[in-house]
Amino acid sequence: MDDWLLFLFRGLRAFVDDPLASELWVVVFRFVPFILALELPYYLFVFSGILRYILRKRHEIPLGSTLFPPVSCIITCYSEGKDIRKTIMSLAAQLYPGKIEIIPVLDGASANKPTYDAAYEMEKEVNSLPGRVLKCLPKWKRGGRVSSLNSGFALSTGDVIMAMDGDTSFDNDMVENAVRHFSNPDVMCVSGCLRVRNWRDSPAAALQAVEYLVSILASKTGLSEFNAVNNISGAFGIFRRDVLTLIGGWDAGTAEDLDLTLRVKNYFGRHRNMRIVFDPEVMGHTDAPDTFRGFFRQRLRWDGDLFYLYFLKHFRSFSPRLMGWPNLIVSTVGGLLFQIVTPLLLFLYTVFLLATVPMTVIGVVMGLVYLFYFSVETFFFLVMLFFLSERPREDAMLIPLLPLMPVFTFVTRIWSAFAVLWEMTGRGHLDTSMAPWWVLRKTKF
């Protein structure tokens, strides 16, 4: 270990003393343009949006509403058991004065009896509350997530539709904070914010908690200021009923959240005022995988689905006529390049280093990569902590994990490259727990 640190120190010193003569310069020269061209502009764009949000909120009169339309909450349930009660009660206990219709859709109810029983046991308690209605919807044969969402939508009566997972709970002002945005007729959808509620359970969950705070709470706040929200989370999305009717609800297959987001954005080019809003005050809490094995299995599906949607199903959506220029640019950079091309290039770059340069040079380069990502992660986390977080004391407890985040991010990026390759070669989107095989077999893609 001491020898490796000595080599690292000597390599950095040689680079500082005479960078043009150093072998390290050749490697850095290839790395820096890669970062400057693909990542740094995106980070600056997001930060400018966060800064704009901070300045706007400082001088803005708090957004309120005198209109309280009926709200329908569709909860996709499969194997939550008694935990479904947390989700139902967090919705029944909302401060929202209007009507809230809660629809747990029990997928595969015949084989999902614990969740079925737990949901039905809540009916008497919830229906006794003023303005609250619980309608349990059993689907005896499993049809998958999209089938559950569309079934719940068909039963719903609210003007505002909320789609949420059965393992997600909510702050008691969530509905009121979300619905107020629909007083603006141009707002079609609101992307809810998500926190990892089981972050104390394991290191894997804690690292994902930091990731969620940076990639969701901070990043989407910045993107929303330019009407460029990249995705409405499937675990927590809010929609005007009219827009869901317009696009025909959710589409079969996997990655239904990004699929729906892209289909809504296909109207942005023709209706320039349409908006998808992200609000950091519309807060939900979800369980993340508490093991690294579960995390990598989840990301194998998530990241592979990106390639499936962008290149197979929605490649024609990347048109200024459909998406408009701002969203086309952000979706291309933040989606195609940042989430698909960059992991592949990072993977190839790592292989190139291992095959062509000495280990001492690799150590120095990896040290520079680490410092870059550590600086970016720490900067956005601190901005989130001081200016966006509604729970700064709790979030500050995650600061000791920041030195681990560059390693976590690097490994996640390499795994993303593997997920993309798996989708390209093995059609990985068909290997999903979101829908049974007999449903996926009948889909076009």
User: What are the sequence ranges of the domains in the chain?
Assistant: 1-68+184-445
Q: State the pLDDT confidence band at 2, using cuts at 50, 70 and 90.
A: low
Taking 70 as the threshold, does the pLDDT of residue 220 lie above it? yes
Query: Average pLDDT, stretch 396-420?
Result: 94
Q: 423 and 429 in contact (C-beta within 8 Å)?
A: yes
- Which of the residue ranges 66-75, 321-330, 332-341 would you say has the lowest mean pLDDT? 332-341
pLDDT (tens digit per residue) in 344-361: 888 887 887 788 777 777
11 or 285: which leads in pLDDT: 285
Q: What is the pLDDT of residue 210?
A: 98
> What 3-state DSSP class applies to 75?
strand
Q: What is the pLDDT of residue 29?
A: 56
Taking 80 as the threshold, does the pLDDT of residue 259 lie above it? yes
Count CB atoms within 10 A of the CB of residue 332. Answer: 15
C-alpha 115/C-alpha 121 separation (Å) is: 10
Q: What is the pLDDT of residue 304?
A: 85
C-alpha 236/C-alpha 249 separation (Å) is: 15
Q: Which among 150, 137, 143, 146 has a CA at the least distance from the CA of 245? A: 150
C-alpha 179/C-alpha 275 separation (Å) is: 14
Q: State the pLDDT confidence band at 58, using cuts at 50, 70 and 90.
A: confident
List the alpha helices (DSSP H) in 384-402. Answer: 392-396
Four-point Cα dihedral 128, 129, 131, 133, nearest 10: -50
Q: Which residue matches tokens 């309120």?
A: 64
Taking 90 as the threshold, does the pLDDT of residue 155 lie above it? yes
Q: What is the pLDDT of residue 31?
A: 57
Predicted structure pTM score: 0.89
